């Protein structure tokens, strides 16, 4: 499973990238707005820090303007993945961009039927939003299971399932068990994956015992 980090905060991205665990980044207009910086400048900097796919979302809703914006975004860096909404015009743009060799992330997926359309349109990634489904009492992980099961039936589908709107570590574990290709997580959730009270307790005990020996691995 690949880990993408869902943020436009360059400091957070730099810090997490140093762990070697970050395979890509997803952004959206809301995340970039929080940075208070120019959209294209933020994206260019992120692309320098993370060599993997960096999703950059169009703001237009009509096909013609989507295409203009998509090409503007694609020129920022070679690792830009253009993000389009799962609408008729979005899928039309996905098909056209894919034919032109541009990677596309189709976002705001909430049903297996939508995911099938994204795969048919040649999307590089399709992003089902599990947290938002959970918020309205619909099982988000069931959606991931359905999409993965369908995609496995059709080897011609090359679209990767990118689990989005992740709220906690359990979402990550469940997505991995199902076989999703990618999860994109907020920095907080990625850091939570490291944590376990028994790890902390065990390490404290080891360090206390080592201190009693009065030794140093690095010598005197």
- CA neighbor of 8 nearest in space, from 23, 27, 24, 22: 27
Secondary structure (3-state) at 101: coil
Compute the distance between CA of residue 130 and CA of residue 142 in angstroms, rounded to an integer: 9
Close Cβ partners of 84 (under 8 Å, ≥ 6 residues apart): 57, 58, 66, 70, 90, 91, 93, 94, 97, 104, 105, 106, 107
Compute the distance between CA of residue 181 and CA of residue 72 in angstroms, rounded to an integer: 28
Compute the distance between CA of residue 30 and CA of residue 59 in angstroms, rounded to an integer: 11
Catalytic residue status for 188: no
The alpha helices in the chain, defined as continuous H runs, are: 10-17, 29-35, 39-49, 63-74, 88-99, 112-120, 130-135, 140-153, 169-178, 187-192, 197-213
Q: Are 42 and 8 in contact (CB under 8 A)?
A: yes
Q: Tell me, what DSSP letter sits at residue 165?
A: S
Active-site choice (83, 99, 188, 212): 83
Residue 125 main-chain phi, psi, to 5 deg: -135, 150
Residues with active-site annotation: 83
């Amino acid at each position: 499973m690949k880990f993408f980090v869902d943020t436009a905060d360059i400091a957070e991205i730099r810090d997490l990238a140093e762990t070697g665990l970050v395979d890509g980044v997803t952004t959206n207009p809301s995340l970039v707005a929080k940075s208070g910086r120019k959209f294209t400048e933020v994206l260019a900097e992120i692309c320098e820090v993370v060599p993997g796919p960096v999703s950059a979302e169009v703001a237009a809703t009509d096909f013609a303007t989507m295409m203009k914006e998509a090409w503007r975004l694609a020129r920022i860096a070679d690792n830009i993945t253009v993000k389009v909404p799962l609408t008729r015009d979005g899928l039309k743009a996905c098909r056209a961009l894919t034919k032109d060799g541009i990677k596309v992330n189709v976002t705001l997926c909430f049903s297996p039927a939508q995911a099938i359309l994204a795969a048919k349109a040649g999307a590089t990634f399709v992003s089902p939003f599990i947290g938002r489904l959970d918020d309205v009492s619909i099982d988000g992980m069931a959606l991931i299971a359905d999409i993965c099961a369908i995609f496995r039936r059709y080897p011609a589908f090359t679209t990767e399932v990118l689990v989005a709107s992740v709220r906690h570590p359990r979402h990550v574990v469940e997505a991995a068990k199902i076989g999703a290709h990618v999860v994109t997580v907020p920095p907080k959730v990625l850091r939570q994956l490291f944590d376990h009270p028994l790890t902390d307790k065990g390490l404290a005990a080891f360090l206390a015992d080592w201190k009693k020996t009065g030794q140093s691995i690095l010598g005197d």
